[in-house]
Structure 1
């Protein structure tokens, strides 16, 4: 297996563009990683990387070798997956990422149950709202909420996640209840804005009688943390657009109520992403199937709850 491990080491150096980062990823020292790459270069008789004090870039030979190494490692991992599936005993460590809200509410609570069902699989769960590089960070799979960018990742759609516009009763008592998206603008309501990386303006896409329509909203507060926005809304600072799972308990208690119910937000998509060479790994398949089932059941319950709250708001 030593040559296969060397191929994996080479691939991670190529993908990460850093010897030290690849060494950390493979849990070996930078010196060992460098020695393996040099040994591989001597074996092939070519230089795979151009090295400077500041950068490490693949040569043309390196790029060509990566393509071949990728096919070899994918074939080996597919064969290993087939054998493990036949043995029905998946084992090893899974590296999983998810957005904070999704991870806290949908994934983390079910990890202990998954571990009981598959005791030989360990989970390393990373929660963050930053943009994740699934392949570059060595992840086996990542949960994603929102529109998907084009990529070579394998995608499993989980479900549409309902969203809701809501505000505290104190805010509505002070500013009035907007019936729809047009009223949000006409009455100059305070909208609490989630700041995405690179965002220059804020738009809410709402469902109108004429179809989906974008509303350019404004407000006194913005943050890149969704929980901060929820806290501001609970304090009566304005109207917030949230996935239903982030505010379900506040809607149930009456601390927040739906607004602009005639033009509800479009749902957002919850999906699971995996590098192509990890997609058939039994660990990935079992974990994905387990969590998709839990997510779908939870989202169905939340959708029914949201419809009940919206009917109450319209009454």
Structure 2
């Protein structure tokens, strides 16, 4: 077995805390992952993990080795990036994640074009509206809408996206148009919320004549899938807060109508997060430049 492969598997087992999770992450079987760890332990003549039938915890030697193993993998990545930049022949795999709305409408349609331009670079795209841990989940780039909290990562801003409140004509016919933002929190209206563990936005920030105010809205339905909320709104179930690009077609067709246009939601930042250590990787720079330019052009927004 390759000693470097053994180290890579050890790092993922350490970070994910699970042999099976690390195996899935590296697209190998749990038996192969276990064999790699055993081979590494035999080579080092130490125990790296304490294993039971229900738990797997790093030993003191394992914690020490993890720090060095990370540096080894970072050095290999930097060396590969340096060689690739000289040969102008970028290659490898980029693990990318994004919220459902961004991923389906903006990123996924661009991936084939990127692959045509850079045939030796492979893209692994994961879509989810939940909060993702870039390091723990083995991701290289995470696209986001909002303001990320993790200052240990580099941020590439792509565009500022306007948002709006909207609802189906059938809902507005039954419940009427809200006249003030306060109408959203007094029980007069149902608001459809995006909620998931760790979700940062439990209030809607709206621009009012008195400045930006946050409104703790409620409603009968919540979901961790933004497209589910849109479908509920189309069915007349309530009011949603959405980036304009996500509902532009529904607005154009009249299936959704803007509400409270005099008190719009605060615009949201569209950007990408990636680790500091990957900033020199040519394939990362190529992918981010490619996506940022075309996403901003698709949205027709200032960068």
When the two structures are superposed, what TM-score results if normalisation uses the length of structure 2?
0.89
* Residue 187 of structure 1, CA deviation: 7.6
Trace 1:44-59 onto structure 2 (pairs within 5 A): 44-59=44-59
**Cα 1:24/1:228, change in 2 over 3 Å:** closer
Superposed displacement of residue 151, structure 1:
5.5
Mapping 1:96-111, distance limit 5 Å: 96-111=96-111
Partner deviation per Cα, 1:32-86 (whole Å, 9 max, x = no partner): 3333323322333322211112111111111111111111211121111011011
C-alpha displacement at 1:200, in angstroms? 11
**CA apart distance, 1:242:** 1.1
CA distance in 2: counterparts of 1:244 and 1:260, whole angstroms? 14
Decide whether the 8 Å contact of 1:202 with 1:218 is kept in 2. no
The 8 Å contact of residues 156 and 273 in structure 1, kept in 2 or not, is answered as yes
1:264-279 to 2 correspondence within 5 Å?
Answer: 264-279=264-279
Q: Does 1:280 align with 2:287?
A: no
Deviates most, 180-189 or 153-162 = 180-189
How far apart, in 2, do the equivalents of 1:79 and 1:35 lie?
Answer: 27
Q: Which runs of 4+ in 1 moved over 6 A?
A: none
Rate the CA distance shift 1:248–1:200 in 2: closer, same or farther, 3 A. closer
**Cα deviation, residue 274, structure 1:** 2.2
Deviations 1:146-188 (A, max 9, x none): 2313263332222222110112233334433334313434581
Gap change, CA 1:163 and 1:9, over 3 Å in 2: same
- RMSD of aligned Cα (Å): 2.5
Corresponding residue number in structure 1 for 2:170: 170
Asked if structure 1 preserves the Cα contact closer than 8 Å seen for 2:195 and 2:223, the reply is yes
Name the counterpart of 1:90. Answer: 90
Gaps spanning 5+ residues in structure 1: where?
304-315
Shift of residue 22, structure 1, vs aligned partner: 2.1
Query: Contact between 2:145 and 2:270, CA under 8 Å: does it hold in 1?
Result: yes
Alignment of 1:110-129 (within 5 A): 110-129=110-129
Matched, 1:206 2:206: yes
How much has 1:287 moved relative to structure 2?
1.1
Cα pair distance change 1:255/1:193, threshold 3 Å: same
Residue pair 1:160, 1:269 contacting (<8 A) in 2 also? yes
Aligned counterparts of 2:45 and 2:187: Cα–Cα separation in 1: 72
Q: After superposition, what is the alpha-carbon deviation per residue over 1:15-44, rounded to whole angstroms, capped at 9, x for unaligned? A: 111223223333333333333323322333
Q: Please name the residue that 1:234 is paired with.
A: 234
Query: Which string of whole-angstrom CA distances, capped at 9 and with x for unpartnered residues, describes residues 104-125 of structure 1?
Result: 1010111111111111112222
SS at match of 2:69: helix
- 1:36: which partner in 2? 36
What's the offset of the Cα at 1:222? 2.9
Question: Structure 1 residues 70 and 221 mapped into 2: Cα distance closer, same or farther (>3 Å)?
Answer: closer
Query: Structure 1 residues 169 and 152 mapped into 2: Cα distance closer, same or farther (>3 Å)?
Result: same
Aligned to 1:251: 251
The DSSP-based 3-state class of the residue aligned with 1:266 is: coil
- The count of corresponding residues between Structure 1 and Structure 2 is 302
Q: Which residue of 2 aligns with 1:298?
A: 298
Match of residue 182 from structure 1: 182
Counterpart CA distance in 1 for 2:99 and 2:200 is 22
SS at match of 2:47: coil
- TM-score of the pair, normalised by structure 1: 0.86
1:82 and 1:176, CA in 2 relative to 1: closer, same or farther beyond 3 A?
same
Cα distance in 2, alignment partners of residues 231 and 23 from structure 1: 36
Does the 8 A contact of 1:206 with 1:213 survive in 2?
A: yes
